[in-house]
Amino acid sequence: MPEILYDFGSGRSDPETFPKEALKNAVSRVLDREGLELTKYPGNLGHEGLRKAMARRESEREGVPVDPAHLILCNGSMQAVTLTAEALQVNHGDTVIVEEFCYPGTLSAYRGLKYDMVGIKLDEGGMRIDHLEDELKRLQNENRLPRFIYAISTYQNPTGFVMPKARRLEMINLARRFGVPIVEDNCYGDVHYDGPIEPAIYALDGDPNHIYMCSLSKILAPGMRLGYILARPPMLEKILARRFDAGSNTFAAAVVAEFYRDGIASHAAVANPVLKDKRDLTVAMLKEHLDDICVWSNPVGGLFIWVRFPDDVDRGKLWKTTQAAGVNYITGTSFHYKAVNAPYLRLAFGHLTREQIAAGVPILARLLKEARGSNEPRTFENLFI
Amino acid sequence: MPEILYDFGSGRSDPETFPKEALKNAVSRVLDREGLELTKYPGNLGHEGLRKAMARRESEREGVPVDPAHLILCNGSMQAVTLTAEALQVNHGDTVIVEEFCYPGTLSAYRGLKYDMVGIKLDEGGMRIDHLEDELKRLQNENRLPRFIYAISTYQNPTGFVMPKARRLEMINLARRFGVPIVEDNCYGDVHYDGPIEPAIYALDGDPNHIYMCSLSKILAPGMRLGYILARPPMLEKILARRFDAGSNTFAAAVVAEFYRDGIASHAAVANPVLKDKRDLTVAMLKEHLDDICVWSNPVGGLFIWVRFPDDVDRGKLWKTTQAAGVNYITGTSFHYKAVNAPYLRLAFGHLTREQIAAGVPILARLLKEARGSNEPRTFENLFI
């Protein structure tokens, strides 16, 4: 395997802003103060200090009170995704609604749990409400309404789209009309660059059936494996009843609670500008090298840029030549809920250096052009097919 | 709720031997050396350093080579228990074999996953092979052979029994004859006080269908949430295919790998004598205060003593009066695979002080006697009904 020199594949933050020294200091304080907590089991909800810190994080972002007793700490938000899907499933083959292009980890978990996925078309505002309504009607007629609607409504993965508040309210209305809970995955929450911050669905609707999940993998580090579910009773109890792992890591939770004891704003103020700068550079490089044949998203947060390329690109050839040149990305197919081959790729820009971005995009551009059957300019103006 | 003053309930190690200062030092070294690893995802197997340390732990105890590539780090061994049961299940209602009295966390997980549990009677050597054979024959005749046999064969919870090598070999033969894998939970492994150490089943049989699991919760601390599965291909892949949480905590794993970089023997040499001393004290107090009406196990490792008391004890009254007096324990019923009410209780002795043990057992003894319908001495000589 050739070495990957330009890894646009993995959705990770900037390694340089990882707060190594601050965490070292936090560990000393935590072990002195709470060392004995480590000799106990964490319980199903997990470390109280981190739940309080994350309730504060949510309250500060969303402007609503959040009860730490409604937070369930998880092993990253992927445990949140899996646990929720397990708790809501009644039978193998149950239906779930997802975005047509969606995070592969979630698709893989739902597939593994034997859910039948129904994908909803996306536009620049996220899930299209007209298509969501059509599919809910169809599924109701077929007597197999979905167990839930899964949506990454902010900085959607892979597209980077944000669902505007008005559309969130429409989605909430549809969910109520059909009696289907929304599972909102806000794992990129707080990785924000510019523009307004749209409210989370739980902040817009008191329906106790909606479930929210968030993570520290993107704003802090995935190796800490800290995410959480926000759920209100009786949904809270329903989820906990399916949890059998004796609770989440107290050590990591206690250290991160200490690190974020005064809120997450000061750390986000260091980490996000570095990412925003890389987003700007990536977009600038795309503009310089691919504007004639591609279009792409310009995300206001999160870690990904979604690129549409011409239909006449030989995708197998593109994959081979880019891998050989050390350029990694994730194919559009990987994100499609039915793994349909589609003329897209996703670029993650968070953990590369500026130099890697500046050198990698031109190579990708050249190989995209070489994998085409023509030299024609693109014939499309938007990201959707 | 009255305060619990004498908590014989929770199976935890001695808090005084928790190596706080050594972990602080390990954290500094780890963050300097491997800080950037935290900004990556751990992968399905988890931190390589801890896998190597745990492979060494297993090799040193069992005297066989163990490949770190066959270890799957988990969120405590309860994730190992759950993940394995999920991977081996085909349909709800599948059969699983367990010990008649078994760890409640496992029973609760299997119940939650909709397994049909079949319990095997225990004696001082663990699962009775005659009963296991009978049940396997019966289940084969009913065309519902179990998906696996779950056994805590060393320092069994709750009884403390150790299965001798000869019986392990008989169990392996039965497993082979009926084509049923053994899932061996050695979560108390290395919490050893005296007597020979019996070999793990994986060290006696190369059958790649057997699965082994172990933990750091008992020898180190449950708040670290570190356990692991040892499984050989293709079983390894089968288990990993059911894992959707993006891997175990790198932070805790890296720190503990550094702490155990020279093996676990030196830490065990500090932690185990303190526990052995508490076992001795608990047994001495039982002898002094309950010898006339009870019998109990004298475990050579692990954290529990299993106590059989006379049938005429009013168990409801006993629970109320002990709780009111601040004495906590786990009832026999909690361990029975069908929650059958049985005249047993389990005493955990690891995390109490010597003073608590010395004061708590006499109170328990008095309340046991007060909850009886007679003053007769016990009429039984062994632990089994």
Residue B296 lies in a domain: yes
B74 & B90 share domain: yes
A11 & A25 share domain: no
Q: Which residues on A lie below 8 Å from B248 (Cβ)?
A: 75, 225
pLDDT at B383 (0 to 100): 93
B237 & B120 share domain: yes
Pairing of strands A304-308, B182-185: unpaired
Is A18 in Cβ contact with B36 (below 8 Å)? yes
What CATH number is given to the structural domain containing A169? 3.40.640.10
Q: Tell me what percent of the residues of chain A surpass a pLDDT of 90.
A: 98
Residue A83 has pLDDT above 80, yes or no: yes
Terminal alpha carbon distance of chain B: 34
Distance from CA of B252 to the nearest CA of A (A): 7
Per residue in B325-382, pLDDT tens? 999 999 999 999 999 999 999 999 999 999 999 999 999 999 999 999 899 999 999 9
Please report which helix (H) or strand (E) contains residue B211, including its range: strand B211-215
Which of B231, B248, B263 represents a domain boundary (last residue)?
A: B263
pLDDT at B362 (0 to 100): 98
pLDDT at A385 (0 to 100): 82
A119 & A236 share domain: yes
Question: What distance in Å separates the CA atoms of residue A153 and residue A169, rounded to the nearest whole number?
Answer: 12
Per residue in A346-359, pLDDT tens? 999 999 999 999 99
| B75: nearest CA partner in chain A | A245
| B114: nearest CA partner in chain A | A242
Helix, strand, coil % over all residues of chain B, rounded to 5 = 45, 15, 40
State CA A61 to chain mean position distance: 17
Per residue in A271-313, pLDDT tens? 999 999 999 999 999 999 999 999 999 999 999 999 999 999 9
Residue A383 lies in a domain: no
pLDDT category at A373 given cuts 50, 70, 90 is confident
B157 & B217 share domain: yes
- Is the minimum CB–CB distance between B22 and chain A shorter than 8 Å? no
Residue A375 lies in a domain: no
Examine residue A158 and say whether the peptide bond preceding it is cis (omega within 30 degrees of 0). yes
DSSP assignment letter at B127: E
- Is the minimum CB–CB distance between A247 and chain B shorter than 8 Å? yes
CB of A191 closer than 8 Å to CB of A302? yes
Distance from CA of A36 to the nearest CA of B (A): 6
Question: What distance in Å separates the CA atoms of residue A214 and residue B356, rounded to the nearest whole number?
Answer: 42
SS3 B66: coil
What CATH number is given to the structural domain containing B349? 3.90.1150.10
SS3 A345: strand
pLDDT at B373 (0 to 100): 86
Residue A376 lies in a domain: no
Per residue in B129-160, pLDDT tens? 999 999 999 999 999 999 999 999 999 999 99
Interface predicted TM-score of the whole assembly (ipTM), two decimals: 0.95
What Å distances lie between residue A343 and B6, B9, B56, B315, B374, CA to CA?
66, 59, 48, 69, 82
A131 & A279 share domain: no
Question: What distance in Å separates the CA atoms of residue B132 and residue B151, rounded to the nearest whole number?
Answer: 11
pLDDT at A201 (0 to 100): 97
Of B12, B78, B241, the CB nearest to A244: B78
Query: How long a stretch of residues is chain A?
Result: 385
Is A23 in Cβ contact with B24 (below 8 Å)? no
A204: which residues sit within 8 A by CB, 6+ positions away?
A165, A168, A169, A172
Question: What distance in Å separates the CA atoms of residue B247 and residue A252, rounded to the nearest whole number?
Answer: 14
A81 & A56 share domain: yes
Question: What distance in Å separates the CA atoms of residue B380 and residue B25, rounded to the nearest whole number?
Answer: 53
Question: What distance in Å separates the CA atoms of residue A315 and residue A344, rounded to the nearest whole number?
Answer: 9
Q: Which residues on B lie below 8 Å from A250 (Cβ)?
A: 223-225
Structural domain harbouring A206: 20-263
Residue A50 lies in a domain: yes
A196 & A285 share domain: no
- Is the minimum CB–CB distance between A224 and chain B shorter than 8 Å? yes
Residue B79 lies in a domain: yes
Q: Which residues on B lie below 8 Å from A27 (Cβ)?
A: 24, 27
CB of A213 closer than 8 Å to CB of A186? yes
Residue B159 lies in a domain: yes
How many beta carbons lie within 10 A of that of residue A143, not counting itself?
A: 6
pLDDT at A51 (0 to 100): 98
Which of B263, B292, B317 represents a domain boundary (last residue)?
A: B263
- Is the minimum CB–CB distance between B250 and chain A shorter than 8 Å? yes
Is A242 in Cβ contact with B225 (below 8 Å)? no
B178 & B276 share domain: no
CB of B309 closer than 8 Å to CB of B368? yes
Which of A228, A263, A298 represents a domain boundary (last residue)?
A: A263
B190 & B286 share domain: no
CB of B213 closer than 8 Å to CB of B77? yes
Interface of A with B in 268-297 (CB under 8 A): none
Residue A1 has pLDDT above 90, yes or no: no
Residue A378 lies in a domain: no
B249 & B321 share domain: no
Q: Give the residue ranges of chain B where pLDDT is below 70.
A: 1
B248 & B283 share domain: no
Q: How many domains does chain A have?
A: 2
pLDDT at A2 (0 to 100): 80
SS3 A96: strand
> What average pLDDT does the segment A340-344 reach?
96
